[in-house]
Amino acid sequence: MSGVVREFDVVVVGGGHAGAEAAWACANIADAGAGLRVGLVTLDPEKIGAMSCNPAVGGLAKGQMVREVDALGGLMGLATDATGIMFKTLNATRGPAVRSPRAQCDRHAYAREVQRLLRSREAITIIGASVERICTEARGGRRVVRGVVLKSVDAAWDGVEVRARAVVLTTGTFMRGLMHRGDAQTEGGREGEGPARGISGALREMGFELGRLKTGTPPRLRRGSLDWDGLDEDGGEVAPTPFSEMTERGAFPVLEQVSCRVTRTTEAGHALIRENLHRAPMYTGQIESVGPRYCPSIEDKVVRFADRSSHHVFLEPESHESDWVYCNGIATSLPVDVQERLVHSMPGCERAEVVQWGYAVEYDMVRPHQIDATGMTKLVDGLFLAGQINGTSGYEEAAGQGVVAGVNAARWAMGEALVTLGREQAYIGVMMDDLVTKTPVEPYRMFTSRAEHRLILRADNAADRLTELGRAWGLVSDARWALLERRRAELERVDVLVESARCADGAWLRDAVRRPGYEAADLARDLALRPGVDVMWGVLETVHAERAYEGYIRRQHAEIRRHSSMERRAIPDGFDFARIEGLRSETKRNLSRFRPATIGQASRLEGVNPTDITVLLVAMQRSGAAG
Ligand SMILES: Cc1cc2nc3c(=O)[nH]c(=O)nc-3n(C[C@H](O)[C@H](O)[C@H](O)COP(=O)(O)OP(=O)(O)OC[C@H]3O[C@@H](n4cnc5c(N)ncnc54)[C@H](O)[C@@H]3O)c2cc1C
């Protein structure tokens, strides 16, 4: 079908967690009246929404991001609520800033649900093909994206040029993906799936600087082969809170809930690993790229924490549709004979049958200083990148970037100004800012410690922070908007009650909420309000957090206001940093490489200090650019 041209407004390449969210965001905007057409091109449509590693969503800081994606009309929260088999709040006994929801999902049901949701959107056309080439053209002195060329087993799409005003690339771990297991190497982005070969070369030819990273996954075991009942149980919450504001509370959780088991590595297992390090691709030099330090392989843990004789391993059921169990804690690329002996050295796993061996995968990524905080590349107008391709790791990080790139791709296609989220608005904003101001030395994942305003960026108030913005961007449906309006009224009502009521011991409630250990559940008791019956779910948590930490929150808002004018002050596109007098050459080099869009971004670049910012502001003023 060479020579055939098809047209969309936006093309999303990749049906992983970033791509699904980007296409979904465009469909939301289409339904809000923009009438956009979105082509979602992915290697295998049956694998859309596949969870490459652990089928878990959320967790520390990641749970906050899923709530943010949901507040912006996203699909990850919906799919998680529909398919979760164990829900838990992490850090439940600690402060609200670091409390995070997490769910173990049914791997098969999750992917199916993502596919169902995407197929339910009229604006989205799903195409099974590989994108091998990106077409661009020169326009007004800039390079502008024109579309992509497909390679497909489906004759209707093979060789077709798909034109679009915006293209979102979300290729995950697939660009020149190479899997390692002992000395065996297989090309592919994920077990059982081939690599994307052409796209790396195409990006390089366009002038992009690529890097290479690595990640890994543990073996999966057959549950029936384990001493399941003899192991310690790790269960979920009895009455969990859903991720999505849209989830019908009465019918939640939807799927039957399961519990996990806990085992551990042993001294014998560690000795085995030490004896076989010369066969571990990470130590033989076979794997050259860097993996996540925060999520090390078991061989890495044994070397780095040599004084530890044991590490926890969580055995997590993957699905109601299979008896596979995920071994959380022993990601490895050791040869299979070593993996087998390692598994058998863990209590309760002595006779374990391994149904899939662990492996590591190396893949190409685009160094993220080449995008700006909208997700658009600085080199090619209309070309957006999101997810693992930007050097991040994790479904939630991918989803957050997918929303940002999706919104902006749609806006670019419609000729509207691009939008960003600030560090003070969302973890997603923190991530985008980090990506465009720092050089990743390992796969980037979100931590609460990355956010300076984490008392404001809580899981419970994501809708309050972002749904109005999402509505303005065309992402939020009428139904979701109505829920926010109801929530606002309830927040006000409960706040008035707290101000005027006394608790059982006669103290004013407004004072009691500040007592250490006084929680939202105590508020429910003292106000005689049953969540989900007399008051909307989540309202008491927010009122409690806002009251209990009022002083700190007020101070954080004051600090944000103090810095806001400088933070968002724009640096003109194309500003020549190299010609600024009075800057050290290292500073000039960094400014020229990252090309920050705002003074806030410039101030966070490595090697840029407050004096440099003053010099930059003076230079901008002299050139008539300071706002
Ligand atoms: C072995 C392994 C272990 C992992 N371990 C961890 C971990 O420990 N912790 C963690 O947080 N994350 C881990 N991850 C990463 C996690 O899976 C990703 O962060 C997440 O899936 C990224 O989402 P994404 O949308 O960017 O990419 P993916 O989910 O990888 O999706 C990419 C999509 O793009 C499609 N695609 C690629 N190239 C093309 C092309 N040229 N044309 C058309 N379609 C294309 C693919 O078919 C796929 O659908 C692991 C991944 C793997 C493979």
Q: Please indicate whether residue 43, judged by its CB atom, sits closer than 6 Å to ligand 1.
A: yes
How far is it, in rounded angstroms, from Cα 353 to Cα 351? 7
Pick 217-362's CATH classification: 2.40.30.260, 3.40.1360.10, 3.40.50.150, 3.40.50.720. 2.40.30.260
Contact by Cβ (8 Å): 62, 506: no
Residue 537 host element (H or E): none
Q: Which atom of ligand 1 is nearest to the CA of 15?
A: 49
In whole angstroms, give the CA distance from residue 324 to residue 26.
35
- pLDDT in the model for residue 1: 60
* pLDDT tens-digit readout, 471-489: 999 999 999 999 999 999 9
239: tokens are: 């009455």
- 3-state DSSP helix/strand/coil percent for the chain, to nearest 5? 40, 20, 40
Mutate to test the pocket of ligand 1, among 52, 151, 361 (most ligand atoms within 8 A of CB): 52
> Average of pLDDT values for 584-598?
92
Distance between the two ends of the chain, CA-based, in angstroms?
52
Check: CB of residue 13 under 8 Å from CB of residue 42. yes
627 pLDDT more than 80: no
pLDDT tens digits, residue range 277-308?
999 888 888 888 877 777 889 999 999 999 99
**Nearest CA to 215 among 184, 174, 183?**
174
CATH architecture of 569-622: Orthogonal Bundle (1.10)
Q: Is 114 in the pocket of ligand 1 (CB under 6 A)?
A: no
d(CA 17, CA 402): 7
Closest CA to 601 of 389, 373, 401, 425: 373
Percentage of the residues of the chain whose pLDDT score is greater than 90: 84
Residue 501 reports pLDDT greater than 70: yes
Interface confidence: ipTM more than 0.95: yes
In this prediction, residue 219 carries a pLDDT of: 98
CB neighbours (10 Å) of residue 522? 18
Mean predicted confidence (pLDDT) in 245-272: 95
Round the CA-based radius of gyration of the chain to a whole number and report it.
25
Cα–ligand 1 centroid distance for 87 (angstroms): 23
The upper half-sphere exposure of residue 131, i.e. CA atoms within 13 Å in the direction of its Cβ, equals 29
Q: Is 197 in the pocket of ligand 1 (CB under 6 A)?
A: no
Pocket flag, ligand 1, residue 361 (CB < 6 Å): yes
Residue nearest to atom 37 of ligand 1 (CA): 171
Whether 602 lines ligand 1, by a CB cut-off of 6 Å, is: no
| pLDDT at res. 102 | 97
What percentage of residues in the chain have a pLDDT greater than 70?
A: 99
Structure confidence at residue 214 (pLDDT)? 93
Query: Tens of pLDDT along 84-134?
Result: 999 999 998 888 888 999 999 999 999 999 999 999 999 999 999 999 999
Domain residue limits, the chain? 217-362, 488-555, 569-622
Domains 217-362 and 569-622 share a fold: no
Mean per-residue pLDDT of the chain: 94
pLDDT at 626 over 60: no
Question: Confidence band (pLDDT; 50, 70, 90) for 532?
Answer: confident
CA distances from residue 313 to 192, 212, 326, 347 in whole angstroms, order as listed: 25, 29, 10, 10
Cβ 388 under 6 angstroms from ligand 1: yes
Cβ–ligand 1 distance for 41 under 6 Å, the answer yes
